[in-house]
Amino acid sequence: MVARLLILVCMALLGPVVAWAQAPIVVHHIGPFTGVLAGSNLEAITGARLFLDGLNARGGVGGRPVKLETLDDGQDAKKAAALLEQLLAEKKVLALLMPRTTPSTEALLPLIAKAGIPMIGPQSGASFVNDPPKREVFPLRASYQKEAERAIRQQHSIGVRSFGLLLADDAFGRDTMAGVDRVMKELKLAPAVIARFDNRKADVAAAVHEIAQKRPEVVLLISSSKAAAEFIKGYRGLGQAATFVSLSNTSNIDYIEALGEHKRGAIVMQVMPSPFSGNTALARDYGAAAAAAKTPPSYAGFYGFAVAKLLGQALARAGKDITPSSLVQALEGLGEIDLGGYRLHYGPGDRTGSTYVDSTIITQDGRFMR
């Protein structure tokens, strides 16, 4: 009798462990873990894992851990689509978390719509992500167009009239350029020079010389962080002076590291509140998690942390047997949601997410200062 009782106690204790190990909630990420965007993408994924690790330590969702599986598309939109098609064929996709790059997001959207799989917190700020709103797509951040418009208005307000553009020759560049054109037309301006380049690489030597010939007061860097860093170093290497403004996709640690001695004074637009100040509950939670994991905090990591928190709240509302459809319904039903000082808005026909846009300047000691 005693032996039988011990066995039953052991089974009761081990049962939840076995169930935990056998029934994770799996979501997927497709993005670049090789190529010029590998570093910044890894920062975002690390931030997401920080939140999920904490969530799982608290018991997960309904007693089930949440697992994030990642696939490397090498910054290749065709490969990204092929990877998703493979997952869909194997019926393994509950949700796609934070896909990276505008071309890849553009390639993934038709597959997402056809399969009814939610895309949560895409890292791309292209306007087509939520304009028009798409049932399966739940963006977190404001658009690149809003960032570019804010940057140009800020510089115009202090007397700048001459703008040069380093422009990615892809869907990212084309989409952002629509916002640039709109605000410049309103302000009765035109770019002094536009230098286009292949954003999958960081070869901007020709663009440096092309823009330097026109000597603009401000250069708007619509590019990867590696290309932006190489441009600034090359431009200053010619002895040319300008104010450099890049978008939020460069708000990562490897951008500051790549700039080296040229980091001071570079302006970076942001779509998240500061992860460093502790002015929001979300930033305090992220800071504590990063410190415990001995992970350097960053804007990119903070974004990943916020997206994972949104995912966690939606999973908790999606019912016991979570499906892509129930997860879409849960996300749409969140309405006005406060992640801790960072507010989002969703609803039927509404995929606003956040409209937050701000700017920062990099200091000599490598900090983002508002």
pLDDT band at 76 (very low <50, low <70, confident <90, very high): very high
The 3-class secondary structure across 243-259, one letter per residue, is: EEEECHHHCCHHHHHHH
- What pLDDT is attached to residue 278? 85
Average pLDDT over residues 252-261: 93
Please check whether residue 10 is in contact with residue 18, taking contact to mean a CB–CB distance below 8 angstroms: no
Residues 102 and 201 both lie in one domain: no
Residues of the chain above pLDDT 70, percent: 94
Both 305 and 257 in one domain: the answer is no
In a shared domain, residues 203 and 96:
no
CA-to-CA dists, residue 56 to 171, 257, 333, 357, 361, angstroms: 37, 32, 24, 31, 36
In a domain, 7, yes or no: no
pLDDT band at residue 91, thresholds of 50, 70 and 90? confident
Is residue 16 situated within a structural domain?
no
Domain boundary among 270, 303, 322: 270
Confidence band of 2 (pLDDT split at 50, 70, 90):
very low
CATH number of the domain residue 64 falls in? 3.40.50.2300
> Are 71 and 126 within one domain?
yes
User: Does residue 103 lie in a domain region?
Assistant: yes
Q: Flag whether 2 is in a domain.
A: no
Looking at the structure, tell me whether residues 60 and 128 fall in a common domain.
yes
Structural domain including 320 reads 25-141+279-357
Task: Name the domain boundary from 211, 240, 270.
Answer: 270
Domain shared by 163 and 253, yes or no:
yes
Do 171 and 117 belong together in one domain? no
| Alpha carbon distance 188, 180 (integer Å) | 12
Q: Supply the pTM of this predicted model.
A: 0.89
Pairing of strands 243-246, 267-270: parallel
Beta bridge partners of 25: 66
Q: Are β-strands 267-270 and 358-362 bridged in parallel, bridged antiparallel, or unpaired?
A: antiparallel
Average pLDDT over residues 39-48: 96
Position 328 scores a pLDDT of: 97
pLDDT of 1 reads 43
Indicate whether 296 and 328 sit together in one domain. Answer: yes
The pLDDT of residue 277 is 87
- Check residue 309 and give its pLDDT: 98
Q: How many domains does the chain divide into?
A: 2
